Amino acid sequence: MPMTDLTMRVQRFCAERGVHIDIQYFDTSAHTAQQAAEILGACVRQIVKSLVFEADGQPVLVLCGGDRLVDTTKLTALCMAQTVRKANATLTKHATGYSIGGVPPVAHATDLPVFMDQALLDCDTVYAAAGTAHALFAIDPHVLKDMSRARVADIGAEPQRGRTT
């Protein structure tokens, strides 16, 4: 599968910061963390979910492991916001320049505050979307934290039975 403008944007962003990434392309969609883990033969906790939320109407990006949910109560406190809710597809695309399922942790259309769940730092390597649901790259989570300028916090929660978001 050829490199797209979206994946080239991610590649260029990383290269400009001195970080080399190898983007892997797949015929199968890696739209969800579970799908990405299966394609890569990795643990779901190693998959970075790049999720956009609205904090009092302003977009913020949360990087969370594929095996965890975002605790919106904790995120609300971190953002010093009255309300936090998951952003819809339109806001996600506008704020990041990417569609849900392919949002990378970097190289966004707007300058977003970024929060990273501290559990990601327990992994040696994590895998993130590279602009589409068919492209992923591996990276050291500490390098990702620095490159994304993420604020690390305990914002993840164990999934409740039956919940997959």
Q: Which domains does the chain have, with CATH numbers?
A: 5-157 (3.90.960.10)
Beta carbons of 99 and 134 less than 8 angstroms apart: no
Per-residue pLDDT of the chain (165 residues; tens, 9 = 90+): 556 899 999 999 999 999 999 999 999 988 899 999 999 999 999 999 999 999 999 999 999 999 999 999 999 999 999 999 999 999 999 999 999 999 999 999 999 999 999 999 999 999 999 999 999 999 999 999 999 999 999 999 887 654 444
Q: Are 49 and 64 in contact (CB under 8 A)?
A: yes
Beta carbons of 40 and 153 less than 8 angstroms apart? no
Can you give the pLDDT at residue 117? 97
Q: Residue 44: its pLDDT value, please?
A: 96
Residue 41 Cα distances to 56, 133, 161, 164, angstroms: 38, 16, 24, 19
The whole-number pLDDT of residue 161 equals 53
Q: What is the C-alpha to C-alpha distance for residues 120 and 126, in angstroms, rounded to an integer?
A: 7
